[in-house]
Structures are given as structure tokens and as C-alpha cells.
Structure 1
Amino acid sequence: MRGRKPKPTALKLLEGNPGGRPINHDEPKPTRSRPTCPSHLSPTAKAEWKRIAEEMENVGLLTRIDRVALAVYCQAYGKWVEAERKLAETPPLLKMPSGYIQVSPWVTISNKQAELMAKYMAELGLTPSARSRLSVSGAHTLQRDDPAWEFLGD
């Protein structure tokens, strides 16, 4: 597959389909609901799950099949928080017994988790740029004949 990843139809509809490309009416339509939080997540990741899942559910961006993607984001967040706490306690550069200076492993862990978080935030519509393209209240009132009704209407 070449080019950009296709945008989910629900997001296209929320944006008003600015590109005017055909809407995929055969796209799978998973049930909108908050999935259960996986028990294996760290306490920090579980707290992030609770915070972000509620917000995503309130704007209609969360379905049960988003569970794994959200769990990966939350676990990366938990590890990032842990690495940042460790960095606050230790120097970012370490002097090795050989005399060489080395970057703390916590810097590497923090950076990697931040990359993972950014990737999943974009996938889940959690970045400021992703939100700037959405219009969920005020600008468009859903009517029953609107194609977005089956995604967002109740």
C-alpha cells in the first residue's frame, strides 16, 4: 500500500470530508463503547486509561476494538512517567568506569516511550493536530439522514 494511511470514515465525517473523496460505506462499524482496562497495565497506565478513555468515549471516538491500541498508548505513558521520575533522581549522563561518558538508559527509555505515545496518540485522534481537524459540537448538528448518524447518533 502506498501513500498516506486511509483516514477512518468516522473521522472524515467529523471533519466534513474536506477532500471530497468518496465515503466508504462498507467500512466496519464497531460498537462505540468503553473497553475494559487490561489488568496487566501498571498503576500509572491504568490511571491514564481511566482519564483518556472517559474523554474519548464522551466525544464518540472509542470502541471496544480500540482496546489494544489504547492499552499500548497507556502502557507507554506509564513507562515514560517512570523514566522521567528516574531522570529527576539521576543525572542524564553517566561516567563509566572506563572514563567514557554515556547517556543514562532512562533517557533512552523516556525517548522511546515518547515516540510510541506520539504514534498511538495520532492513531487514536489524541493529538492537537488531529483534534484541529475534527468538529464535534456546535458546528454541525446531526440529523437522522446524515451519514454520520450511524457512527455518532443515538
Structure 2
Amino acid sequence: MPRTAKSEMLHVIDGNPNNKTKKELHKRAKNEQNMVVDHDKVTPPAWLDTGAKKTFNEIGTYLIDAQIVNNLDVTALAIYCDTYYDYKACKRQIKKHGYMMADGKVNPFVKERRNDALLLDKYGRQLGLTPQARVSLAIHIDTDDKGGDDDFD
């Protein structure tokens, strides 16, 4: 998300912890604006299962509206949705067959579900789907509020 002169000013007011010059801050803001990517092609890939596509569309809508994902993030979002779909399938298998198999061994879907949970956490953090990830993303969001006590324009 691009920075503005307002966000540069806030960075300076916050103490400029990285000791950046005004020129460096301006250069960074300009570079961030050049890196903006469209979100017109955030659609589920053909290889996703129907259930994963539904999840992709639901989550994708929220992430696009929040300006978190763009066309470059389609694969990461698709992998997240595919893994989520697999996680749910593992849960159904565990519910159907139980945690222990007839031979006394642990149901292999238990291990698979744990692995899927780790991947969901990893991709969820990357996509801003955890509370902690959203807080860290909120630091970089440029607000367009009109007026107020903190209006430096």
C-alpha cells in the first residue's frame, strides 16, 4: 500500500526509528506506488476443487476489499484454500473412522490434519488472515480520512 506525505510525516513524528531522511522516505513512498498491482484477475485457478473455489471467492472478496491481495497473490490464496479444503476432508475422515484405526494405530488423517493446520497458519499469516497479521498490516494501510485531530495535510 502506497505511502503518502501524510504517512511520511507520521513516520517522522513517531520518531523516525530508522533515521531515514526526508529524501529516503519520499523515495520509498514513490517506489511503493510503482509496485502497486491490479486485483482484476484474482479468480480461483482451474485446478482448485469446487469447495476450495467457493472458499477462494469468499475470502478473496474480503482480502480484495481490504486491499490486501492482488493479482500476484492468487497462487498463495489458492494454496491456502486448497489446504483448508483438505483440512476439512481430513476432519470428515476422522469423524467417520475415529482417531484410532482397527489395528490400534493412529488414523493417518490425524497427522495429515495437523500438517494442514500448520500450513493454514503459515499461509493465513502471509495473507493477513490472523488477528496478529492484520494488526501488522494495519500499520501500513493508508487511510483517507477527511479531517480530524491528526490531519496534517
Normalised TM-score (structure 2):
0.69
CA distance in 1, matches of 2:63, 2:76: 13
1:92-145 deviation digits (Å, cap 9, x = unpaired) = 01242xxxx3211111111111111111110111111112341699x94358xx
1:113 aligns with 2:116: yes
CA distance in 2, matches of 1:112, 1:20: 38
Counterpart in the other structure of 1:63: 70
Alignment root-mean-square deviation, CA: 3.1
Identical-pair percentage:
23
Counterpart in the other structure of 2:52: 45
Q: Which has the higher helix share?
A: 2
CA distance in 2, matches of 1:135, 1:51: 24
Amino acid in structure 1 at the alignment position of 2:57: K
CA distance in 1, matches of 2:2, 2:52: 26
Counterpart in the other structure of 2:150: none
1:131 aligns with 2:134: yes
Number of residue pairs matched?
A: 128
1:33–1:57 CA contact under 8 A, matched in 2: no
Question: Secondary structure, in 3 states, of the residue corresponding to 1:102?
Answer: coil
CA distance in 2, matches of 1:136, 1:29: 14
1:59–1:136 CA contact under 8 A, matched in 2: no
Question: Secondary structure, in 3 states, of the residue corresponding to 2:105?
Answer: strand
CA distance in 2, matches of 1:62, 1:89: 36
Amino acid in structure 2 at the alignment position of 1:43: T
- Against the structure 1 CA distance between its residues 20 and 55, is the aligned structure 2 distance closer, same or farther, given a 3 Å change threshold? farther
1:34–1:53 CA contact under 8 A, matched in 2: no
2:2–2:36 CA contact under 8 A, matched in 1: no
Normalised TM-score (structure 1):
0.69
Segments of 5+ residues of structure 1 without an aligned counterpart are 1-9, 144-154
1:90 aligns with 2:93: no
1:31-76 deviation digits (Å, cap 9, x = unpaired) = 2345121011112211110100000011111200101101110100
CA distance in 2, matches of 1:12, 1:74: 30
